[in-house]
Amino acid sequence: MSSLVALHSMLVELHGGMLTLAAVCILATVVSRTHFRMRKSSDNYGIFWPADSFVGKLAQYAEPTAYVAAIGGVVGLITSAIVGFFVYPIDFITSNSLGLGKVAFSVFATELMIVFVFLRSRYGQNLWKNKGTATVYACVGLIGFLLMVQAGSLGGHMAGKGSVLDPVYALVGIDPINLGFSLSNVAIITVCVSLVIIIVSMGAFMYFQRKTSIVNNTKT
């Protein structure tokens, strides 16, 4: 049992580190591409030309790193969830709001990161060429990261260690131990939110992609 606990802890650290790296690289890619976009559209922004070399390297390496790190994060999330069911008895997970909330947020984070990886695998770096698709893609990855942080926070409470988010919970008056999840509503909440995640993220991406295609066809 102790070996499973150690393995689960290692996998949690693995996917946490991977998704943190992915989130940092997403932000770095957004900053670098915004820099070059402003360089082209604003003469006043031209004073920042000395940063072009550094920002160019940042964009070159950060974007694929985010993709690879997200793949590792998804694998880590799924694997740690499987091991977690052996570490924590099903009765314990399903008998309290904390365990059910941990499961729900883990599912949401995993779904968003799978969408993130799918979009990058399907469309490659071309998705960054359109502002709309780039925004959807970046938001999917960053929101997935934030949901992973929330799931990890609840996992810390399950392990009796607390969470770095506790000051935030106290500030906004939220009790992380009781988030309103119960055995009777967690399935409905999970299914409904999952459908919203998939439909909204994919729908928004396809909308901007189609809009770009129509504009390009009109120009030609």
pLDDT of 37-60, one tens digit each? Answer: 777 766 665 555 566 777 778 878
pLDDT reading at 64 higher than 90: yes
Q: Return the residue matching tokens 């950060």.
A: 62
- Overall average pLDDT of the 69-81 stretch: 93
Return the minimum-mean-pLDDT range out of 101-110, 147-156, 161-170.
Answer: 161-170
pLDDT of residue 159: 74
Distance CA 123, CA 127 (A): 6
- Two tokens, residue 201: 């993220």
Mean pLDDT of the chain: 84
Cα dihedral sign for 63, 66, 71, 72? positive
What confidence tens digit (pLDDT) does each residue in 94-143 have? 778 888 888 889 999 999 999 999 999 998 988 888 888 999 999 999 99
CA 192 to chain centre: 19
* Helices vs. strands in the chain: H and E counts, helices first: 7, 0
Return the minimum-mean-pLDDT range out of 85-89, 136-140, 152-156.
Answer: 85-89
Confidence category of residue 213, pLDDT binned at 50, 70, 90: low
Helix, strand, coil content of the chain in percent (nearest 5)? 85, 0, 15
Distance CA 30, CA 35 (A): 8
- Note the pTM of the prediction, 2 decimals: 0.85
